[in-house]
Amino acid sequence: MIKKIGNLNKNKIISRRLFVLVAAKIGLIGIVTSRLYNLQISQKQKYEVLSDKNRIREWKTPPQRGIITDYFNNVIADNQRVYQVHLSLEEVSNFNNSIFKLKNIISLKEDEIKKIYEKKEKSKPWDTLIISENLSWKEFSKLNLYLHELDGAKPVLSTSRYYPYSNDLVHVVGYVGDATAQEIQNKKKIQENFVPGLKVGKIGIENSKDTDLIGNHGTKRYEVNASGKKISEISYNKETQGQNLRTTIDLEIQQLAQELLKNQAGSICVMDIFTGEVITMASSPTYDPNKFTHGISNKDWNEIKNNKLRPLLNKSLAGLYSPGSTIKPLVALAALEYGIIDTKFKVNCKGHDHPYELYGERYHCWKKNGHGWMSMRNAIKQSCDIYFYEVARLLGVDKLSLIAKRYGLGSKVLEDFFSEEKKGIVPSTKWKKQVLDQSWYLGETVITGIGQGYIQTTPLQLCLMTAQLANGGYKIKPNLIYDKEINLDAIKSKIESEKNKSVSQNILKDHEFKYYERLYRNPNNLKFVLDAMYGSTNEQFGTSFRSRHKEDKYKFAGKTGTSQVKRITDQDRELDLELEEIEYKSRDHALFIAFAPYDKPRYSLSVLIEHGGSGSKAAAPLANKLIKKILDRHGLREKIRKDLKNIA
């Protein structure tokens, strides 16, 4: 009986204890449930993202660069099919081994192998390494033959930059190369679209317009497993090609200009005097931009770098030269505008025996026997130095500087488009005080009058100056990339309205001019100067008379210039050596500026031959050939202009 009671008691205890246990279990189930709820319902999105991050990996695909064409749609920077070999790192079992095998098949050089190892250090384990960017067809087919032995190696058909007119446009278009760490860091567009092997612009348009040209990279999303192996492609956001660019360059004229400059150091610039379109910007010597695309070899680089004629220097806008006598029309214009003298003002040029004298310093004319009594027109036409010494003296350097700047000297023509473009120097008393901390001497004014001394200009500035004289004295906007905002008819009507605008005396003071505003006070002054330039080319005794066109439609006006690179001593004058007898580096630079056609000006040009001797002998004859070509192509260019306008 006791036992029975004990059993009942025991039964009760067990049941009670079980009850406690079950209650605890229910509590624990509650905890697990709330945890699951928390993970799967509350934090679902967070874990979904993490899960996708786990399983999805992105690969960037390189964009194709935009195509660059000339004004006539001739491709001047293209994308060309190239054969490459890539190495997919995650598929390579033994990297050293693979490189060794590849080396034997596609003949990699030691320094190339070193670069590959450097690149590998920086790569992620699932990256693809570009082993060679540009294989020959022979190497490529050999690679395909041995492919089964090369784990991870992939023959790839890709595209790369190609410049079909190699040397002719390098100073305009520039070239591309691998992005440096600095470029990736500093340029947002490059950073955003960086893909191993991406080429970026280094100089020229390729550099200036890189942001437009690069395009946008694509993204391939793959599902990968825990060890990173690609399982399937999930999505492919295709890369987009960079913007295509139409330049204002006329390929044929550019090529002719380069041809004319062959074997010489120099520059030829051609510009539309209304639209400001740079039609040609040739610089010589040139080099092949294609060599830079896949990294230039040391040998080629040294060859370019050590060339005495400095091919790397873009002489059109980074070469600085004294303008010489090409400045004379501007000096005359300044003197007329300020009313210092009139066109009838005369100076007697008496030859080397009786030079111009100022405070005991003697200044010679280039002509040994002198020009005799010179009026302004004759002085420009025959480029009499004595006349301009006197005009400059009367005018003063500050007024000359003001007008020179107004017509385009002393500032960058293409603004910041080319990083290497130089401003040049247009000296003034203020400038000298500021920069050299010295007072101005009158003697310096005198030589500035013939474009010597401190004054420094680029050939492109001279071309712009000529354009702004030839268009009747209106400020234009130089441009190298076709811009549909720049409309010839609109410009012409704007100029027409400016013509009749009454001008205040303020026009002779320093102030900012807007585009297409008139720069002159009296139109007759300009007309006079342009007519004198006509005389210089088309009348006997004119300095460029021998380079004239007899046919009316090709008739142009110009001004020669010979810029000294060193001071001419009395001994030099005595010797009067022929060009060939002077050491190359001491020979004068030959310059020529011109506009055409004379009766209805449309184009301006500047020619510079470094150490070419006199402007009339070395530079002006080139203008003759160029102008014929330019005017022959005028109709075609206008047709394209009309078509482009209609599209817009």
Taking the complex as a whole, the smallest distance from the CB of residue 93 to other proteins amounts, in Å, to 20
Residue 46 touching other proteins (CB under 8 A)? yes
Residue 141 touching other proteins (CB under 8 A)? no
> In the window 481-520, what residues touch other proteins (CB under 8 A)?
none
Residue 47 touching other proteins (CB under 8 A)? yes
Spatial strand order of the sheet with 218-224 comes to 56-61, 218-224, 230-237
Taking the complex as a whole, the smallest distance from the CB of residue 237 to other proteins amounts, in Å, to 21
Tokens of 368: 């040994």
Taking the complex as a whole, the smallest distance from the CB of residue 94 to other proteins amounts, in Å, to 24
Residue 569 touching other proteins (CB under 8 A)? no
The torsion angle over the Cα atoms of residues 306, 310, 313 and 314, rounded to 10 degrees, is -140
Taking the complex as a whole, the smallest distance from the CB of residue 43 to other proteins amounts, in Å, to 5
Taking the complex as a whole, the smallest distance from the CB of residue 5 to other proteins amounts, in Å, to 10
Residue 562 · residue 589 · CB < 8 Å: yes
Residue 442 touching other proteins (CB under 8 A)? no
Residue 96, CA atoms < 13 Å, CB-side half-sphere = 0
Residue 157 touching other proteins (CB under 8 A)? no
Q: Judged by CB under 8 A, which of 1, 31, 181, 647 binds other proteins?
A: 31
Residue nearer to other proteins on the CB measure, 1 or 32: 32
Taking the complex as a whole, the smallest distance from the CB of residue 2 to other proteins amounts, in Å, to 9
Taking the complex as a whole, the smallest distance from the CB of residue 1 to other proteins amounts, in Å, to 14
Residue 181 touching other proteins (CB under 8 A)? no
Size of the site for other proteins (CB under 8 A): 40
Q: Mark residues 228-267: x for contact with other proteins by CB under 8 A, - for none.
A: ---x------------------------------------
Residue 586 touching other proteins (CB under 8 A)? no
Rounded-to-integer distance, Cα 81 and Cα 329, Å? 52
Q: Which residues of 592-621 are buried (b: 16+ CB within 10 A; e: fewer)?
A: bbbbbbbeebbbbbbbbbbbbbbbbbbbbb
Tokens of 249: 């360059």
Residue 103 · residue 87 · CB < 8 Å: no
Residue 55 touching other proteins (CB under 8 A)? yes
- Region binding other proteins by CB under 8 A among candidate stretches 30-38, 449-457, 496-504, 516-524: 30-38
- Region binding other proteins by CB under 8 A among candidate stretches 18-26, 174-182, 613-621, 627-635: 18-26
Rounded-to-integer distance, Cα 548 and Cα 571, Å? 34
Residue 124 touching other proteins (CB under 8 A)? no
Residue 185 touching other proteins (CB under 8 A)? no
Taking the complex as a whole, the smallest distance from the CB of residue 28 to other proteins amounts, in Å, to 5
Task: For the chain, report the end-to-end CA distance as a whole number of angstroms.
Answer: 114
Q: Judged by CB under 8 A, which of 9, 144, 369, 419 binds other proteins?
A: 9
Residue nearer to other proteins on the CB measure, 4 or 600: 4
Tokens of 277: 């379109």
Rounded-to-integer distance, Cα 94 and Cα 353, Å? 86
Rounded-to-integer distance, Cα 455 and Cα 421, Å? 16
Encoded amino acid at 576, one letter: D
> In the window 321-340, what residues touch other proteins (CB under 8 A)?
none
Q: Judged by CB under 8 A, which of 1, 23, 41, 244 binds other proteins?
A: 41
Residue nearer to other proteins on the CB measure, 1 or 41: 41
Residue nearer to other proteins on the CB measure, 234 or 340: 234
Rounded-to-integer distance, Cα 293 and Cα 448, Å? 44
Residue 90 touching other proteins (CB under 8 A)? no
> In the window 196-235, what residues touch other proteins (CB under 8 A)?
223-227, 231
For the beta carbon of residue 150, count every other beta carbon within 10 angstroms.
19
Taking the complex as a whole, the smallest distance from the CB of residue 55 to other proteins amounts, in Å, to 5
DSSP calls for 367-418: STT--EEE-HHHHHHTT-HHHHHHHHHHH-HHHHHHHHHHTTTTS-TTTTSS
Closest by alpha carbon to 613, among 580, 590, 592? 590
- Region binding other proteins by CB under 8 A among candidate stretches 14-22, 324-332, 420-428, 451-459: 14-22
Rounded-to-integer distance, Cα 231 and Cα 54, Å? 13
Residue 206 · residue 175 · CB < 8 Å: yes
Closest by alpha carbon to 391, among 352, 339, 431? 339
Rounded-to-integer distance, Cα 612 and Cα 353, Å? 27
Residues that bind other proteins in the complex, under the rule CB under 8 A: 6-7, 9-11, 13-14, 17-18, 20-22, 25, 28-29, 31-33, 35-37, 39-41, 43-44, 46-48, 50-52, 54-55, 223-227, 231
